[in-house]
Every structure is written in structure tokens, then in C-alpha cells.
Amino acid sequence: MEFEFGALILSGLIILSIGLLRISTKFGVPSLLLFLVIGMAAGSDGLGGIEFDNPVLAKQVGSIALAYILFSGGLETEWLKIKPVLWKGIVLGNLGVLITGAVMGLFSVYVLGFSPIIGFLLGAVVSSTDVAAVFNVLRTRNTGRKKD
């Protein structure tokens, strides 16, 4: 009975996410923010109270999702559109990750009082998702590339 209840809750969250995604698109809310809020609300500290303590499963699901995201991104990428801005993108992407990691690490150490190892680990985690989040938001907005 426990598996069926878990599957029912998961199905409900997926249906809720799909329904709210349509609404959020109309109002311009990024889908990443929407899914983050739904996950927090469903979690152990939120209204849902769902306990999740399985790091192995989380790693497996995350690895599969990452593989899908990278594969999908590769399929959708057109070389002719990337070629003119490739080096600018590489420099800005790496520099952006480096700056975000350093600023977040220093903020965590000096303002939040974390140890340097924990602070810069937090900076590394946040900065590694920086580019993907920004590109996702830019893709959903109609931001055309400026003519060189």
C-alpha cells in the first residue's frame, strides 16, 4: 500500500507541475523557480511533509536527468548559430562561473560564518548551475541576439 500511495503523490505533483507550468508561462515566471517552489512545498519542511532520505536514488535520478538535459541540448544546438559567438560564450560562461563561485564562497565565509571549505563548496554548487539557469531563462524570453 505504501508504494501505491507514493506513486499517487508523485503523479499528483507531476500533474500539478504541468498545470502550473502553463499558467507560469503566461505570466513569465521561469519554470525552474516554479519547480523549486513546488518541491519545497512538498518536502519535509513544507506543507506536504514528504520525507525523502535516499541519497543513492537522488544521485541516480539526478544523473539520468543530467544526461537527458545534455543530450537534448546537443540535439537542439545548431552549429551555425553558435559559431559566431562560441569564444565569447566560453569566456563569459567560465568567467561567470568563477566569479559566482568566488563571491558566493566569500559571502558564505564572511557574512554567514561558514568555514572556508563549506563556504566555497556552497559557492561551487551554486556557480555550477548558474549558466544553465540563466540560459533557461533567456531561452523562455524572446531575447534576440544583438547583431555584431
| pLDDT reported for residue 20 | 85
101 and 142 housed in the same domain: yes
- The answer, as to whether pTM is greater than 0.85, is no
56 falls in which pLDDT band (50, 70, 90)?
A: very high
131 and 94 housed in the same domain: yes
83 and 146 housed in the same domain: yes
Please state, in angstroms and rounded to a whole number, the distance separating the CA atoms of residues 26 and 48: 26
146 falls in which pLDDT band (50, 70, 90)?
A: low
85 and 43 housed in the same domain: no
Number of domains in the chain: 2
41 and 90 housed in the same domain: no
- Mean pLDDT across 50-79: 87
Inform me whether the pLDDT recorded for 11 exceeds 60: yes
C-alpha cell at 100: 559566482
Which residues, other chains included, contact 54 with Cβ-Cβ below 8 Å and sequence gap of 6+?
none
137 falls in which pLDDT band (50, 70, 90)?
A: low
| pLDDT reported for residue 42 | 86
Domain of residue 49, residue span? 1-53
